[in-house]
Amino acid sequence: MDEKVLYSMTGLFDTPDQIIEAAEKVSDKGYTKFDVHTPYPVHGMDGAMKLPPSKLGYAALVFGLSGTLTALTLMYWMSVIDYPNIIGGKPFFALPAFIPIIFEVTVLAASVATVLTMLFVFFKFPNNVHPLHDTDYMKAVSSDKYGISIQSEDPLYDEAEITVLLGELGAYKIEEVYYDNDEVLEKHNIFEPKFIGLLLVLVILTSGTAYFVLNKLMFLPPFNWMANQGKVIPQENHTLFADTKGMRTPVQGTVARGYLPYPYSGQPELAAANLANPLLPTEENLALGKSKFNTFCSPCHGYFAEGDSRLNGKFPNPPSLHSAKLREWTDGRIYHVIVEGQNVMPSYSSQMTREERWATILYIRTLQRSLNAKESDLQ
């Protein structure tokens, strides 16, 4: 194939005003298959070329909303249907906690899908051997000139008329640009057996390498230093001890550093008689007690300790803390219940420190006094 295939007619201009006027005149003549090239963005060029608004924004909106709906649906299914859990008295589907994930999935879906849509739908696979590449025209408009290219595919394309039009507009170096014959003759086929074979080889090599590295190499010296550590792993045997048991029971009579064992386990009456609140009802202690009460106690007891559970019937409601019986309990008796639990109420000894338990009791006493005030309290 010796005859070259025409791609477009090009012309160069010296100023941005000239290229704006040229774009307006070319679009007014009814040409639609043309493009303008400038060394920097020229304000008003979209209007001069009569370009319609890009539809890429709609694609971004659709993909972003799809990401939002996908994240919402997935988290709702996991939290409400597949594995429902009550956490801190919050509902199964606690929307505020999911907002960051929804935002991230929305942005990720919109950004990635928009870029792919731009490349493969709007740009139709960018051509890295474009006819304008490496031409004197492209070198000029990439430096300090302004150019217009009218493609031969345009329905109104006429070489003589375009040459006259560009000349009247003040263009110079009016030239024809042709396709590269090798590119025209080349028939790209993604289903070429050699290409498919290359993909298969790459898949096999990649998966095989990943399997070897993760399942074999990482367990061979010297790469296994993280896997084979000298620590005692729970539920595993260990040669350090004669009975080979890795998990050990505490030595009888010993106390761990920083830990004071509770001396009244199973003895609520002794706790009531011997324990006294060491904290004063200061503003700081009451604030600490309120914080811990709202976190650990209010899901069942309610914010005002009236037994109006916030769990919406998901758990048996506890008794009110304002009953005569509870108000007559000593601080030590309440402390004992917090440490050991009672009936369906679990122990909170691992969730609250000693100081936090006593501060919580101060806040409970405040609630009791506020709802059961005496005449002397109002004076």
Express as a percent the part of the chain with pLDDT over 90.
Answer: 51
Higher pLDDT, 220 or 19: 19
- Let me know whether 164 and 280 are in one domain: no
Q: Is residue 129 a part of any domain in this protein?
A: yes
**DSSP labels, 14-81:** SSHHHHHHHHHHHHHTT--SEEEE-SS--TTHHHHTTPPPPTHHHHHHHHHHHHHHHHHHHHHIIIII
- Let me know whether 156 and 201 are in one domain: no
Quote the CA–CA distance of 155 and 358 in Å, as a whole number. 87
- Let me know whether 122 and 243 are in one domain: no
Q: Is residue 338 a part of any domain in this protein?
A: yes
Q: Is residue 288 a part of any domain in this protein?
A: yes
How remote is the C-alpha of 88 from its chain's centroid?
23
φ, ψ at 143 (rounded to 5°): -110, -80
CATH code for the domain in which residue 300 is found: 1.10.760.10
216-225 mean pLDDT: 86
Q: pLDDT at position 89, please?
A: 76
Q: How confident is the model at residue 204 (pLDDT cuts 50, 70, 90)?
A: very high
Q: Is residue 377 a part of any domain in this protein?
A: no
- Let me know whether 281 and 346 are in one domain: yes
Total Cβ atoms within 10 A of residue 232 = 14
Quote the CA–CA distance of 301 and 337 in Å, as a whole number. 14
- Let me know whether 172 and 197 are in one domain: no
Quote the CA–CA distance of 24 and 160 in Å, as a whole number. 20
Cβ pair 21, 166 in contact under 8 A: no
Q: How confident is the model at residue 302 (pLDDT cuts 50, 70, 90)?
A: confident
Task: List pLDDT tens digits, range 303-318.
Answer: 888 888 777 667 778 8
Q: Is residue 256 a part of any domain in this protein?
A: no
Q: pLDDT at position 126, please?
A: 67
Cβ-count burial of 189 within 10 angstroms (0-12 exposed, 13-18 middle, 19+ buried)? exposed
- Let me know whether 232 and 321 are in one domain: no
Task: List pLDDT tens digits, range 15-69.
Answer: 999 999 999 999 999 999 999 999 999 999 999 999 888 899 999 999 999 999 9
- Counting Cα atoms < 13 Å in the Cβ hemisphere of 256 gives 6
Q: pLDDT at position 306, please?
A: 84
Residue after which a domain boundary falls, among 119, 153, 188: 188
Q: Which pair of tokens denotes residue 288?
A: 């600490």
- Let me know whether 134 and 221 are in one domain: no
* Count of domains observed in the chain: 3
**Which of 182-196, 246-260, 268-282 bottoms out in mean pLDDT, i.e. has the lowest?**
182-196
Cβ pair 141, 14 in contact under 8 A: no
- Let me know whether 169 and 283 are in one domain: no
Q: pLDDT at position 378, please?
A: 64
Outline where DSSP puts E strands in 135-186.
146-151, 172-178
Residue 6 parent element (H or E)? strand 6-13
Task: List pLDDT tens digits, range 119-139.
Answer: 888 887 766 778 898 899 999
Q: Is residue 173 a part of any domain in this protein?
A: yes
Q: Is residue 258 a part of any domain in this protein?
A: no
**DSSP labels, 185-220:** H----TT-HHHHHHHHHHHHHHHHHHHHHHHTGGGS
Residue after which a domain boundary falls, among 188, 206, 237: 188
Cβ pair 357, 339 in contact under 8 A: yes
Cβ pair 8, 166 in contact under 8 A: no
Higher pLDDT, 154 or 223: 154
Closest listed residue to residue 129, CA positions, set 195, 181, 174, 176:
181
The per-residue pLDDT of the chain, averaged, comes to 88
Q: How confident is the model at residue 234 (pLDDT cuts 50, 70, 90)?
A: confident
Q: Helical H runs in 247-347?
A: 268-274, 283-292, 298-301, 324-328, 331-340
Residue after which a domain boundary falls, among 144, 160, 188: 188
140-163 mean pLDDT: 93
Domain that holds residue 237: 190-248
Q: pLDDT at position 379, please?
A: 60
Cis peptide before 221 (omega within 30 of 0): no
- Let me know whether 23 and 135 are in one domain: yes
Q: pLDDT at position 1, please?
A: 46
Q: pLDDT at position 377, please?
A: 65
Is residue 257's pLDDT more than 50?
yes
127-132 own/partner pairs: CB under 8 Å, 24+ apart: 129/180, 129/183, 131/7, 131/8, 131/177, 131/178, 131/179, 131/180, 132/7, 132/8, 132/10, 132/37, 132/177
331-335 mean pLDDT: 91
Q: What's the DSSP call for residue 120?
A: I
Q: pLDDT at position 246, please?
A: 83
- Let me know whether 148 and 203 are in one domain: no
- Let me know whether 237 and 295 are in one domain: no
Q: Is residue 170 a part of any domain in this protein?
A: yes
- Let me know whether 358 and 294 are in one domain: yes
